[in-house]
Structure 1
Amino acid sequence: MKHLMSAIFAFVVTIGLQAQVKTPQPSPSSKLEQTVGLTNVTLEYSRPSMRGREVFGNLVPYGKTWRTGANANTKITFSDAVVIDGKTLKAGSYAIYTVPNKTSWDVIFYSKSDNSGLPKEWDDSQVALKTKAQVYPMPVDIETFTMTFDDLTNDSAVIGMLWGKVYAGVKFEVPTEAMVMKNIDATMKGAPTANDYYASAVYYLESGKDINKAKTWIDKSISMSDKPAFWQLRKQSLIHAKAGDKKGAIDAAKKSLEGAKAAGNADYVKMNTDSLKEWGAL
């Protein structure tokens, strides 16, 4: 019994000592959260490094399915349905698998997203969407596998994948316009606030929509504000200018310039000064 208790004690001590030791992971995990338009996108993956090894065609063989990182499979989550290569991918979580080749990659969005790396048995019915990504050469080595959200707009972004001297990207589109227009239409039928008019006007300006409607809304927003901010007046000047109302644009820009000077905001001072020069007011 004495020997048994000693063995148990030694085992417990050993486990306790092991639990206190923390070392860096060779392929640390990473999590990216990005809003694209009104859609929330989360990307979770692990990041292996080259460590002197040749990556594609060697460490990651050409023509074979790759977990797109290390450890557990890479996972992406969309809060809304997105469109990739003309095909709709429903809202939800997906594993991202890739098949790298020299000039392009196959990129696969796999419905079962909680695999430990590659699925033990591949199930084609779990392939929610498959597309191709062109390969672009990088001028320098990217030591650690990196995923990014690139080329952000209100309506789209690109999932970038970089490692070694390779960049591959997949563009996805989000339903921002439909969501915003539905929201604007519903709000304008009710009791819109000054902020509602302002946000709607700016969206119309930046999306290239009816600029006269944007002008009506921005003027309404400014008239409802006791003391419009210089950045709001700046948008008013730009909307008036695009609508062809040069006098209104100059008046708003002068007010914005005055407010920016009082606030000590050099960026807006310069923007307004440049615009006033362009419009012949300075």
Structure 2
Amino acid sequence: MKKIIFVFAMMIANYAIEAQVKTPAPSPKSTVTQVVGLTDVEIVYSRPSSKGRDVFNNLVPYGKLWRTGANANSTVSFSEDVIIDGKKLAKGKYAIFTTPRADTWEVVFYSDTDNWGTPETWDETKVALKTNVKPENLNRNVESFTIGINNIDNNYAHLELSWEKTLVAIKFEVPTQKAAMASIDKALAGPTAGDYFSSAQYYFQSNGDMTKAMTYINKALDMNKDKPFWYNRLKSLIQAKQGDKTGAIETAKLSLASAEIAKNQDYVKMNKDSIAEWSKK
């Protein structure tokens, strides 16, 4: 019996040792983040190395769709809409696929990013944008496949693919002026109803100045013509905390009516429970 237990213990110990073994990935994963103007760009990809092999028109055949990297899809994410080759690419995350040739590369931004390598079945409806780019010859050798963002300006940058002695630079334009003007206009227009609601909520939840909380929730309600049920719910709670149970009940009834129309049962129950509690003498 002791022998059996000993053997079993050794098996567990060997398994634990094996489970801890780590080795370098042949094509290590890399993440690149960059702000271009006011647009956040993130690239996630794996980096194969040439290791003495001829890359283009050999390891990566000309005229065939390439995963543009190794392992899972190489992806790029834009926080704002961008312009590539005069065409809009909506903000979001895309897989990058390419078809390399000696004189031109076709670059595809594909909306399905969950493939391992190229898609098993190509779906043209998932092609968000295509563009053709002329490759450039480098006077140096790039051992490991590299995707980067260079030539950064407030209004544009280049998404660069480089490997061996080839560079492909895809220019993308970002809406910096539009985003900056929108930010300026918003700031100069003053606080929104949501800003006042959040401020009132903070004062209430932190047991702060209830007079200020009431001022802010009233401004939020004045600015929002729809009078959301969660706005009135907060106001009723503030009124109750101030000792105005009569006002709290009336406001809770307004919140209840709106919640019933919206079929939000959570707020319906909360308002009914509060009205019952505040109605007690």
In the alignment, does 2:16 pair up with 1:16? yes
How many matched pairs? 191
- 1:185, distance to aligned residue in structure 2 (A): 3.6
Mapped to 2, the partners of 1:138 and 1:15 lie a distance apart of 48
The 1-side partners of 2:49 and 2:38 are apart by: 33
1:271 aligned partner: none
Q: 2: distance between equivalents of 1:48 and 1:57? A: 16
Other-structure match for 1:173? 173
Letter in 2 for 1:55: V
Partner of 1:218: none
Q: Which runs of 5+ in 1 are unaligned?
A: 192-282
Rounded to whole Å, the distance in 2 between the matches of 1:56 and 1:153 is: 31
**2:49 equivalent to 1:36:** no
Supply the AA of the counterpart residue of 1:62: Y
What's the counterpart of residue 61 of structure 2? 61
Q: TM-score, normalised by structure 1?
A: 0.63
Larger mean CA deviation between 128-137 and 177-186 belongs to 177-186
Residue segments in structure 2 that go unaligned for 5+ positions in a row: 192-281
C-alpha distance in structure 2 between counterparts of 1:12 and 1:43, whole Å: 40
CA distance 1:183–1:54, shift in 2 (3 Å): same
Q: Quick one: distance in 2 between partners of 1:67 and 1:30?
A: 15
Query: Residue 142 of structure 1 aligns with which residue?
Result: 142
Displacement, 1:120? 1.7
CA distance in 1, matches of 2:5, 2:107: 56
Residue type at the aligned position of 2:64: K
- Post-superposition Cα deviations, 1:66-103, rounded to whole Å, max 9, x if no partner, equal 11111111011111111111111111111001111111
- TM-score scaled by structure 2? 0.63
Output aligned runs, 1:50-129, within 5 Å.
50-129=50-129
- Pick closer, same or farther for the CA change 1:121–1:10 going to 2, 3 Å: farther
- Alpha-carbon RMSD: 2.2
State the 1:14 CA deviation.
Answer: 4.0
Moved over 2 A (4+): 1-15, 182-191
Identity of aligned residues (%): 47
User: In structure 2, how many angstroms separate the alpha carbons of the residues matched to 1:11 and 1:108?
Assistant: 50
Cα separation, 1, equivalents of 2:152 and 2:74: 21
Specify whether residues 2 and 48 from structure 1 end up closer, same or farther in structure 2 by C-alpha distance, changes over 3 A only. Answer: same
For residues 27-72 of structure 1, give each alpha carbon's deviation from its aligned partner in whole angstroms, at most 9, with x where no partner exists: 1110000001111000000111110000000000001111111111
* Alignment CA distance shift 1:113-1:3 (3 Å): farther
Residues 198-277 of structure 1 aligned to structure 2 (within 5 Å):
none
Structure label with greater radius of gyration: 2
